[in-house]
């Protein structure tokens, strides 16, 4: 991990407890993930301490005991089952200015919250902050794959300046796929809808949200460091969806938001042939 060279002003910023608590992590817990503790431990190890909550619509003894083990607030959601509803409820559970919806299988580097606070604090009207990430496969950290290289190429327009308020730039980075890793995103609640996610999507729920955000006034803020780890495993929802026709249909639906129908169909055919494993070339 490269050294962090932040200004004196930022360290004073972090010393103000009120400002430190402008960001919170809400862990979206489901059933009994063997990786939930790893996620929580990475959040409690942040250099900039932030509140951590657990949100679930499937309460069980495992989740409840884990919350007690780490003395974390447990928010039990009562709503119609669905990923969009789960994420919207978790989003609403945070009473801070910024919120990270932490996926229970994923982890965060100790500098993640610090980097988000610094970047958002210097951006006039941010919508989201997100970082680069690495994959976790069979317990191993993987930093260079075809999937990751593709995403980094798509994000080059943002990497040059660190952020973009231009609608055309925001849409350009999304037009050939979804390079934004959902667990690595910090949401700026004041500048986003109360319910940022819409039901109807499975694998592309986040891409659909970014597409709407791209048309809004405000910046996408990007840190090129790998500050989050996204776990790839056979039991993940994305793995199931990639092997189904639903993923292909959702990809086409999203591509048509950026391209004429024939062009979108041609790009989608390339995607379908290229999808050999759960490398999530477009999902996150």
Read off the pLDDT of residues 122-132 as tens digits, 9 standing for 90 and up: 999 999 999 99
Q: How far apart are CA 10 and CA 123, in angstroms?
A: 13
Residue among 198, 200, 203 nearest 88 (CA): 198
Residue 62 counted as domain residue: yes
Each residue of 141-190: pLDDT tens digit?
999 999 999 999 999 999 988 999 999 999 999 999 999 999 999 999 99
Distance CA 57, CA 63 (A): 11
Opening angle at CA 39, ends 31 and 193, nearest 5: 80
d(CA 150, CA 97): 32
pLDDT of 17 over the 50 cut = no
Residue 2 lies in a domain: no
Three-state DSSP state, 133: strand
Evaluate whether 42 touches 231 at the Cβ level (below 8 Å).
Answer: no
Contact yes or no for 229/108 (Cβ under 8 A): yes
Taking residues 106-135, report their average pLDDT: 97
Residue 200 Rama label (left phi>0; alpha psi -120 to 50; beta)? left
Q: What is the pLDDT of residue 233?
A: 78
At 228, give phi and psi (nearest 5°).
-140, 155
Can you tell me the distance from the alpha carbon of 250 to that of 204, in angstroms, rounded to the nearest whole number?
7
Summarize pLDDT for 249-274 with one digit per residue, the tens: 999 999 999 999 999 999 998 877 76
Q: Could you tell me where the beta strands, DSSP code E, fall in 104-157?
A: 107-108, 126-137, 140-142
- Could you tell me the CATH number of the domain that includes residue 24? 3.90.550.10
- In this structure, the strands spanning 219-232 and 126-137 are parallel
| 207-237 pLDDT per residue, tens | 999 999 999 999 999 999 999 999 997 665 5
Q: Confirm whether 178 is domain-assigned.
A: yes
Confidence of residue 98 (pLDDT cuts 50, 70, 90): very high
Q: Within a domain: residue 1? A: no
pLDDT on residue 13: 45
For residue 281, being part of any structural domain is answered with no
pLDDT of residue 143: 98
d(CA 278, CA 30): 20
Binning pLDDT at 50, 70 and 90, where does residue 5 land? very low
User: What is the average pLDDT score of the chain?
Assistant: 88
- Residues 276 and 207: their CA atoms lie apart, in Å, by 21
Classify residue 215 by its DSSP letter: T
**Residue 13 within a domain:** yes
Q: How many helices (H) and strands (E) are present in the chain, helices listed first?
A: 13, 10
Query: Please, are residues 202 and 245 in contact by the beta-carbon 8 Å criterion?
Result: no
Specify if 280 maps to a domain. no
What are phi and psi for residue 186, nearest 5 degrees? -105, 130
Domain tally for the chain? 1
**255 is in which domain, residue-wise?**
8-274
What is the mean pLDDT of the segment spanning 35-59? 96
pLDDT at 2: 35
Does the residue 104 lie in any domain? yes
211 DSSP 8-state letter: H
Return d(Cα 104, Cα 54) in angstroms, integer. Answer: 9
* Helix residue ranges per DSSP H, 215-260: 237-242, 245-255
Q: Which residues pair with 222 in a beta bridge?
A: 130
The 10 Å Cβ neighbour count of residue 161 is 12
Q: Is the pLDDT of residue 280 over 70?
A: no
Q: What is the pLDDT of residues 196-213, one digit of tens each?
A: 999 988 889 999 999 999
Position 249 scores a pLDDT of: 92
**Which pLDDT value is given to residue 42?**
98
């Amino acid at each position: 991990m490269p050294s962090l060279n932040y200004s004196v002003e930022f360290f004073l910023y972090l010393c103000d407890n009120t400002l430190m608590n402008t960001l919170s992590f809400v862990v979206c817990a489901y059933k009994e993930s063997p990786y939930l503790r790893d996620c929580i431990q990475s959040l409690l190890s942040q250099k900039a301490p932030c509140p951590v909550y657990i949100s679930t619509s499937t309460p069980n003894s495992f989740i409840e005991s884990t919350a007690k083990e780490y003395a974390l607030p447990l928010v039990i959601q009562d709503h119609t089952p669905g990923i969009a509803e789960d994420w919207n409820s978790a989003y609403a559970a945070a009473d801070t200015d910024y919120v990270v919806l932490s996926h229970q299988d994923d982890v965060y580097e100790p500098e993640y919250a610090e980097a988000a606070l610094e970047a958002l604090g210097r951006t006039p009207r941010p919508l989201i902050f997100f970082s680069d990430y690495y994959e976790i496969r069979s317990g191993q950290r993987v930093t260079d794959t075809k999937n990751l290289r593709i995403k980094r190429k798509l994000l080059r327009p943002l990497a040059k300046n660190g952020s973009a308020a231009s609608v055309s730039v925001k849409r350009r980075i999304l037009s050939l796929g979804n390079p934004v890793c959902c667990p690595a995103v910090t949401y700026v609640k004041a500048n986003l809808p109360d319910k940022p996610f819409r039901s109807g999507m499975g694998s592309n729920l986040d891409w659909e949200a970014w597409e709407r955000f791209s048309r809004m006034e405000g910046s996408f803020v990007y840190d090129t460091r790998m500050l989050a780890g996204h776990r790839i495993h056979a039991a993940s929802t994305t793995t199931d969806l990639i092997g189904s026709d639903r993923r292909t249909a959702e990809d086409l639906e999203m591509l048509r938001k950026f391209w004429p129908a024939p062009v979108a169909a041609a790009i989608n055919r390339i995607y379908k042939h290229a999808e050999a494993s759960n490398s999530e070339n477009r999902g996150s």
